[in-house]
Amino acid sequence: MRAADAVLRDPGPLSAALTRHGPAARRRRFNRTLGPALSAVVVLGVGCARDAVPLGIWCASLLLPAAALLARDRYAGLGHALSGNYLAAGRGSLTRSRAALSCDGIIGWNLRRSPFQRRAKVLTLTATTAGGRRKYVVQDIGDEQALRLVEGATAGMLAPFLETADRRPGRADVVDTRR
């Protein structure tokens, strides 16, 4: 941590409180962790019913609470922050990571959305840069949060791609170009 502070010359991005990504991101963390655990419990339950896995039921009784704790920890590490002239993006579980990127180094943004993310109304926002890892990912961020983050980090960069909706004056919507 001290080395990162020395390199950045600003402890803000590494110690700033992260903005949470809302209930949809939390649900995705729980679904993606509990789904495989529940499948394993079913397999162990079937094996236990056939006496093929006598200790399977004990393993299954520990698996779901452990998966729920893991999902909770994954959500706790997820978030973003704008601190000074830096974008901080956090993610991970057990071994959490936080990337800090100077907003001056952002040369573009990629917005990606899987069908499951589209249904949950979240997206993956990637800040692209010419140096370092070349991309810094903010996972499962809501649409409105993503627009505010992009505008806060790189003011005016999305302006050519936004239009003001007539039905709600002053609100910016992403233009759908697939018409």
Flag whether the pTM goes above 0.85. Answer: no
pLDDT in tens, 99-117: 888 899 899 999 999 999 9
**Per-residue confidence at 157, pLDDT binned at 50, 70, 90?**
confident
Q: Is the per-residue pLDDT at 167 higher than 90?
A: no
Burial 141-176 (b: 16+ CB within 10 A, else e): bbeebbbebbeebbeeebeeeeeeeeeeeeebeeee
CATH class label, 80-174? mainly beta
- For tokens 């162990």, the residue is 44
- In terms of Cα–Cα distance, which of 113, 95, 106 is closest to 151? 106
The full set of domain ranges for the chain reads: 23-74, 80-174
Token pair for 10:
């600003």
45 and 160 in contact (C-beta within 8 Å)?
no
pLDDT in tens, 18-67: 889 989 999 999 999 999 988 888 877 777 766 665 666 667 678 889 99
Backbone angles phi, psi at 140, to 5 degrees: 50, 50
